[in-house]
Amino acid sequence: MSWTARPTARHGSALLSLLLATVGCERPPEEISFDVAQHRTEIEDFRDARVAELEAPDSWLALMALHWISEGETTMGSDPSNDLVLPAGKAAPFVGTVTLVGEVVRFVAADGVRVTMGVDSTLNLQAGSGAFPPDIRGDPVVTEAELGSEGSKYTVLRHGDINWIRIRRGAQFALRVRDNTNEVYAQFHGIDRYDTDPAMRLTAEWVPQDEIVSVPNVLGTVSEVPSPAHLAFWIDGERHTLDVTGEPDSEQFMMVFADETSGQTTYGGGRYLWIQAPDEQGRVVLDFNRAYNPPCVWTPFATCPLPTRNNRLTVPIEAGEMDWAH
């Protein structure tokens, strides 16, 4: 899952001073007003976009393998003798070889096997972006290619309905393989979610901090990431906080949180939520109706971050997406 945030220069020292002066406030900030009917429509649009993006080709539902590669050669194809075995009837017995040398991953196609190369960024689109089916009409046929990435875009190689990209997690490299005829698509019938609740669109206080927090993931590893602030918000008169992660000058931030519904009606590994940078009064809209499932709900082949120690709420957040019953 990507942690990229878009930078902006609009948070200056004057704003920082104003925010620092508010640290320690023990009452809710003045509410950021909104139109309830418009809010409901926006949440419905977000829900529809989430379903559309999962139903589209190359979505998280298409993932069929996450194959970690070691130095040297990795063979791939539908023959069981390959290191990475692809679905029978959907791939050639021997599609080609992937070679890792240092930090360079190269693919060489087997003789007579058709493989095309394109640019892929589907899995790094922000949740709620909607469906963007890949346009592969101009992708050239290649006999070899280097698998890499630039920003949020990856080199993607395609062989029929099967495609793969290279991902990196720390010093490790893996092939993320997708099948656009994966049977998981047939099992998907939308996203269960709580009813839209305007009361769960909260106004939170942005409390600056300059800390490094440990973010675990489902692989069992931990990343140290900057936390420029925590959010203070009130539910039923009780104050709660969530750490914000990302670069201080970002325009928006993604948070991972767990709550009392986690492992019950929602995914046990927590949920994700995007927030915008604070306004001039140090306020942030914290709309739990937009809380959504991490990719690990839809596939066992994702590498999702988990909530930090401070992002485990002691109240139920009965808003946003629920776990997938399938």
CA distance 318 to 300: 25
Amino acid 326: pLDDT: 55
Domain that holds residue 71: 61-179
Choose one of 179, 205, 233: the last residue of a domain. Answer: 179
Same domain, 221 and 284: yes
Same domain, 104 and 213: no
Contact in structure between 241 and 232 (CB atoms under 8 Å) = yes
Amino acid 25: pLDDT: 57
Assess if residue 33 is contained within a domain. yes
Residue 21 has pLDDT above 60, yes or no: no
Assess if residue 285 is contained within a domain. yes
pTM of the entire structure?
Answer: 0.87
The CATH number given to whatever domain includes residue 146 is 2.60.200.20
Same domain, 47 and 132: no
CA distance 288 to 201: 6
State how many domains the chain has: 2
Same domain, 27 and 67: no
- pLDDT tens, position by position, 173-196: 999 999 999 999 999 999 999 999
Q: What is the DSSP letter of 111?
A: T
Same domain, 229 and 168: no
Same domain, 151 and 210: no
Amino acid 132: pLDDT: 85
Same domain, 90 and 19: no
Assess if residue 243 is contained within a domain. yes
DSSP 116-166: EEEEE-GGGSPTT--------TTPPB-SEEEE-EETTEEEEEEETTEEEEE
Q: What does the pLDDT average to over 33-44?
A: 97
Q: What does the pLDDT average to over 302-306?
A: 95
Amino acid 2: pLDDT: 41
Residue 207 has pLDDT above 50, yes or no: yes
What is the overall mean pLDDT for the chain? 91
Assess if residue 238 is contained within a domain. yes
Residue 11 has pLDDT above 60, yes or no: no
Q: What is the number of residues in the chain?
A: 326
Largest CA-CA distance found in the chain, in angstroms, rounded: 69
Assess if residue 8 is contained within a domain. no
- pLDDT tens, position by position, 77-124: 999 999 999 999 999 999 999 999 999 999 999 999 999 999 997 787
Same domain, 168 and 204: no
